[in-house]
Amino acid sequence: MTLNRFLSAVLFAALLSVIPAAANTCNSFASYSCSKGTPDIVHLVGTGTTGQSVGILLGNTFDVIFMGNKSFAGDDLIILAASPNGLTGTLNGVSFTSLSNFPEGGAIGAIHDTWTGMGIQFNSASFGYANLGTIGCGSVSISASGVGGGTILYAEVVNPKTGKILYITPNSEAGVIGTTAVPEPGSLILLGTGLVGLAVLARKKIVHG
């Protein structure tokens, strides 16, 4: 192999390593079935990034945007949800329909990794979806009400006439509802020790002040 070919191969490998995670494999669920391979075009816009496999940190209000030149007007927006400890609440007033497993193939590993990375315990994970209805033009604004912290959301675009899933969200473009992780027992002990130390110092200052 010539030096030029070697350098080209190294450059190509480096470029591949910075490309965002590809879309997950589409899986049929409920009355919906896959139409084709699914490009990365449905993106959740939140308050920041998680630093985990599921990449977007969401508040109680967030947007869904559609990348590319295709028009989605007339199609339905479905939000898939995975909750670490029981799925609750609504999205734009729509309740979740329960599912026995998570629809997007390959996503469950990223979901578990994200919960672990964020310190979220998932003792009784549950799954579901909410059909938010017809998409207009541009982005869709979503309000989450009563949805538990740590719930992970993916979006899908579905043709309501055929029930075909057209596009889905890859892991890096999916989001997790913001949460404060529960400290581990060791952290709680350290915190308690620190508070006791501060109390002792304050008492000494009062006595000897």
Residue-wise pLDDT for 165-195, tens only, equals 999 999 999 999 987 443 434 433 444 444 4
Strand order through the sheet with 90-91? 42-45, 61-66, 140-145, 90-91, 94-95
Q: What is the pLDDT of residues 48-96, one digit of tens each?
A: 999 999 999 999 999 999 877 677 889 999 999 999 999 999 999 999 9
- Same domain as 58, residue 149: yes
- Same domain as 67, residue 107: yes
pLDDT class of 2 with cuts at 50, 70, 90: low
The reported pLDDT for the residue numbered 151 is 98
Read off the tokens for 55: 């990449």
pLDDT class of 208 with cuts at 50, 70, 90: low
For the chain, what is the mean pLDDT?
Answer: 80
- Same domain as 191, residue 92: no
Query: What's the chain's Rg over C-alpha atoms?
Result: 22
- Same domain as 206, residue 127: no
Host domain of residue 157:
21-178
Q: What is the pLDDT of residues 112-169, one digit of tens each?
A: 999 999 999 999 999 999 999 999 877 899 999 999 999 999 999 999 999 999 999 9
Flag whether 11 is in a domain: no
Cα 140 to Cα 162: distance, rounded to the nearest angstrom: 22
Flag whether 7 is in a domain: no
Scan for tokens 């993106």, then name that residue.
43
Scan for tokens 């450059």, then name that residue.
11
Number of domains the chain is built from:
2
- Same domain as 139, residue 196: no
- Same domain as 167, residue 83: yes
